Amino acid sequence: MPVLTYTQAKQALAKGKYPLFLILHGEAHYLSRKLIRELRSLLEKSDEIEYLEWDEEAVDADIFTSLTTIPLWLSRRLVVINNTQTAELKKYLKVSNPRLVCVLLFDNKLKKGDIPDAQNCWVVECSPPKGRDLIKWLSEEAAAKGKELPASSVEYLRFSCGDDPAVLAAEIEKAAVYLGSEKKITVDILKKVGSRTAGRTLFEFVDAVAEHKGRAALEIAGELLAQGNHPVLLVSMLSRHYLQMLEAAYLLQEGVAAQDLPSQMDVHPYVGKKLIKQLRSSSIKEIEKVLFSLLELDLSIKQGKGSPELLLAAFLGEVC
């Protein structure tokens, strides 16, 4: 029974190959669903098919009937079964129906012992791609839409969106639609069309302060506070970032090369580039002064020495 990666399964489908049974398991549901769509598209190219999908609430007898009954008027039946039990899985894999293609879909990663051996069956783990696999996958997603994704844009997406394929694919899709006939998805384009989630806005807030963009910092701070974020959280994020800036400044002063800074600090390369850029306008003495001001601000907020929002605004006015 072949055990394939997501990429291997996708390549096999692109060549017109598919099994009678396909077990998809893992947390990257977007990738699982994409393989199902590609399998369905492949079958529809040559046959008229019937598509059925069963959820966890379905009656086992109904599922079994859909697997064993031969469709009278159609060439193929594609059946997708969600999160079945191990006992049923073994039973379904024993079904012999020449017109059946069956996908057994699991939201979580299965253990080896949970996957019975079966004839004409692929097992594909759909987990979020990492490292080089993620870089390659992002480039392929952009290329599929006729776009180019430079290395800087890849780093930005990884830093701002994490490794969730669904989120990453959505950002690429929005950028592709926005660009129209233009080819290159730049960081500026991604920033223009990107979702302003709370996590991303926190990073934008920190960057605005570190780059002395007072008006932007005040605007984003107001948005964050309106979302229900406590001022202490904003102070904490700023303190963390300025400590990183201080560490980076000392390392560079000691002779660490700029390209080696991310590995020395154990941070993402995109973060390293931003720190180097922000250090051009801030000295070690200035960073230490900001850190002292942040400590005073944190104490003032916690001790109730004034409105937290006004205290934060006053700090931003002083620093920016």
The two structure tokens encoding residue 292: 């002292």
Each residue's pLDDT, cut to its tens digit, for the chain (320 residues) gives: 788 999 899 999 999 999 999 999 998 888 999 999 999 999 988 878 889 999 878 888 999 999 999 887 778 899 999 988 878 888 999 999 999 999 999 988 998 888 888 889 999 999 888 888 899 999 999 999 999 999 999 988 887 777 788 889 989 998 998 998 899 999 989 988 876 555 557 888 999 999 999 988 998 898 888 777 788 889 999 999 999 999 999 999 999 998 889 888 888 777 888 899 999 999 999 999 999 999 999 999 988 898 899 999 999 999 98
∠ CA 262-166-49 to the nearest 5 degrees? 145
The CATH fold assigned to 198-319 is: Zinc Finger, Delta Prime; domain 3 (1.20.272)
What backbone phi and psi angles, to 5 degrees, belong to 24?
-110, 125
> C-alpha distances in angstroms, 147 versus 112, 167, 186?
39, 18, 10
Rounded CA separation 5/47 (Å): 27
- Please check whether residue 30 is in contact with residue 143, taking contact to mean a CB–CB distance below 8 angstroms: no
Q: What percent of the chain has pLDDT over 90?
A: 52
Question: Which CATH code is given to the segment(s) 3-125?
Answer: 3.40.50.300
- The DSSP symbol for 194 reads S
For residue 148, list its beta bridge partners.
184
Quote the CA–CA distance of 99 and 174 in Å, as a whole number: 39
Answer yes or no: CATH 3.40.50.10860 is held by domain 131-193.
no
Q: Is 297 left (phi over 0), alpha (psi -120 to 50) or beta?
A: alpha
Which residues of the chain form CATH 3.40.50.300?
A: 3-125
- 149-to-133, 135, 153, 187, 270 alpha-carbon distances in Å: 15, 10, 6, 9, 15
Question: Which secondary-structure segment (H or E) carries 270?
Answer: helix 269-279
Span(s) in the chain for CATH 1.10.8.60: 131-193
Distance CA 165, CA 171 (A): 10
Give yes or no for a contact between 102 and 22, defined as CB atoms under 8 angstroms apart: yes
User: Phi/psi at 163 (nearest 5 deg)?
Assistant: -120, 20
Distance CA 271, CA 261 (A): 10
pLDDT tens-digit profile of 184-237?
999 989 988 876 555 557 888 999 999 999 988 998 898 888 777 788 889 999
